[in-house]
Structure 1
């Protein structure tokens, strides 16, 4: 199967497990790099299956389907972190080359594993504890105060699997049906930041500028690159931490490090704590498609194949990426035509997903020198596509 998919010249086949929008956005750089992309898609009309010719259907927990898929690929990577451990073990037993490896990926799959490892490395984290019942949660709250942020170790994203607990008794229903949970202090942060880092199997690394991520109801709605007015020492510390995490965890591919900017209680200087890790292309890095010399998607393909990494210099002083959420329009094309005509400098990326209120269905990007104007342009385009503005 690999030979059947392989492009002339012996260029490799990259397989992606999962047919979501991240896999979809790998297709343009794969073409530019002369690679063949194949995705194991959850359905024939999944986002990536609409644009990638090789898109067999298979579920993330179907071991035999995934083994058959992987046998036709030179390297396998992931659209998401939800592939079960037994599936990863089967691929490892088959000798499949996976990037990131299961040993690295588990730190993005399991928040308790991630917290333990980062704490061992001395990477700043919120105060945390593994809790198994209301009494243990109350003991944590007695030390660190209320509210407490309670998280499911596996499967949560975009605010799912997270609860803000003001009374430990309110979490009794979660403890009744779940494995141990992660309790974290509610961090008093200045703003949320993120940084994308890439690392290849041979150890080459690259880091994009630190960005400011704007969250609304647990969903990232805007990314500003670079983060405005970021302290130089903090930028250096974040960059070094991202590279160290990637190296110590032996991450291969791109990784997002999501952070809180906080004030150091002793010095009053800005510092950070790590919130989450994602070992794949990530929403906080979508700005790189139009705003960086090398996008996170191209870099991910380069990294998993151990190709030389690309330059990560920004193309403009500012890039603003605004997420598009589903709203009033089931048919987006008329609104799409309108915003392209209204703002010819706008870049629109829709994910081929069905429209549902509040669902992330795409993003728009603008680059330039006037940050306030860029934010206004991005917000207007996203709001028009959602139907909350009509002109």
Structure 2
């Protein structure tokens, strides 16, 4: 029996961890990477060097692949449509993925299907931003470029008309949204296969610092069963209505008055699901592969009452191997995942995961390990 080749566009840490999940499934794994030094290219045996912006590179990469999927959303829609016209199985499809690529398209479609979102509008200039601010109760408002933003980039919180001029300098459409007075951020991750099978992971709490995910708690503490089911229902509904194949992360705001609003979508494995590698019966990466290959999906349930994932962000301390040894010796229950990246301030270079019965203990251990690896603490 010849096992299929899964091609993933992008050579980052998501592809690296997806490759790890592909090994026990028997699936052969290919990566399109920009350079041999990228995270996944360091460990994957089948690497095609090229650009996601070049159709010839994409076609060369897709040869003999049973399916093509992604570790980011930055592939131009027209190129994906060309691959599909060639007969390549692209999952998620270009028709679905555009909702994670273009925030304006996403907001319009979610409004059509009745998904609760912050009030929003595409705006052409600072005058239209000011008019929108007046309609939603005043400044500040949030401005986002419709394409290309990630990890806080392409997002501005503006407090007056003068500040509102900055996002338009990029020359791309701008989406204005009301600034939601939320109490915390949640994420509902689901996986859906081509024949419609779907599974939902426990809803998690995501702690963001400067627009970058710092910590994830699974499940979200003090979230009622009713609210958790509502969040999962929203995510499953979006996956079905948009015909998503693979992993879908729905980032959510929880407000003081009990509402849940959709903030962002990601149609790929996502930072809010990294906890599942060690904390769930089936990781998000394995289930994403199962879905794009149309295999039966795995059990998404948690293995322990609590799992905490903390991202390791680069700081001034570039030698992480010595602290890595210390963390492993100090707490054998900590799972450390390093991405093979050069250390740069603020860059995601790894993550740690701890599971257990006591949330306070689990959280403290995960934070200590990440802080030690970064160099913020020395004992």
| TM-score normalised according to structure 2 size | 0.98
How far apart are 1:176 and its partner, in Å? 4.0
2:16 paired residue number: 24
> Is 1:379–2:363 an aligned residue pair?
no
* 1:28 to partner: Cα distance: 1.7
For 1:86 and 1:123, how far apart are their aligned partners in 2? 27
Q: In terms of mean alpha carbon deviation, does 124-133 or 169-178 score higher?
A: 169-178
Residue number in structure 1 paired with 2:97: 105
CA shift at 1:93, angstroms? 1.5
Conserved? CA contact 1:347–1:365, under 8 Å? yes
Match of 2:266 among 263, 278, 281: 278
8 A Cα contact 1:67 1:90, kept in partner: no
Match of 1:194 among 176, 187, 191: 187
1:331 aligns with 2:319: yes
Could you say which residue in structure 2 is the equivalent of 1:247? 240
Deviation at 1:180, TM superposition (A): 2.3
After TM superposition, the structure 1 stretch with the greater mean CA deviation from structure 2, 171-180 or 332-341, is 171-180
Residue 141 of structure 1: aligned partner: 133
How many Å separate the matches in 2 of 1:262 and 1:329?
38
Where in structure 2 are the equivalents of 1:1-391 lying within 5 Å? 9-144=1-136, 145-264=138-257, 270-391=258-379
Instruction: Report the Cα distance in structure 1 between the residues aligned to 2:218 and 2:306, rounded to whole angstroms.
Output: 6
| 1:284 aligned counterpart, secondary structure | helix
Residue 70 of structure 1 contacts residue 76 of structure 1 at CA under 8 Å; is this kept in 2?
A: yes
Cα deviations by residue, 1:77-99 (Å, 9 ceiling, x for unpaired): 00100001221122112110010
**Displacement, 1:120?**
0.8
Scaled by the length of structure 1, the TM-score of the pair is 0.95
What is the alpha-carbon distance in structure 2 between the residues aligned to residue 338 and residue 168 of structure 1?
Answer: 51
Q: 2:166, 2:240 → 1: CA distance?
A: 39
- C-alpha distance in 2 between matches for 1:259 and 1:285: 14
Preserved CA contact (<8 Å) 1:321 1:364 = yes
- Aligned partners of 2:170, 2:65: CA distance in 1, in Å? 39
The alignment of Structure 1 onto Structure 2 pairs a total of residues equal to 378
Offset at residue 16 of structure 1 (A): 0.3
**SS at the partner of 1:348?**
strand
Deviation of the 1:179 alpha carbon: 2.6
SS at match of 1:55: strand
Deviations 1:321-348 (A, max 9, x none): 0000001322211110010000000000
Contact kept in structure 2, 1:153 and 1:182, CA below 8 Å: yes
Task: Give secondary structure in 2 for the equivalent of 1:258.
Answer: strand
Q: Which runs of 5+ in 2 are unaligned?
A: none
For the residues of structure 1 that align with 2:38 and 2:173, how far apart are their CA atoms?
33
Distance 2:340 2:170 in 1: 35
Cα distance in 1 between the residues matched to 2:259 and 2:357: 27
Find the aligned partners of 1:78 and 1:71 in 2 and give their Cα distance: 16
| More displaced 10-residue stretch of structure 1: 86-95 or 23-32 | 86-95
Q: Deviations over 1:92-146 (max 9, x none)?
A: 1211001000000000000000000111111100010110011110100111121
Residue segments in structure 1 that go unaligned for 5+ positions in a row: 1-8, 265-269
Residue pair 2:188, 2:250 contacting (<8 A) in 1 also: yes
- In structure 2, C-alpha distance between the alignment counterparts of 1:306 and 1:177, rounded to whole Å: 40
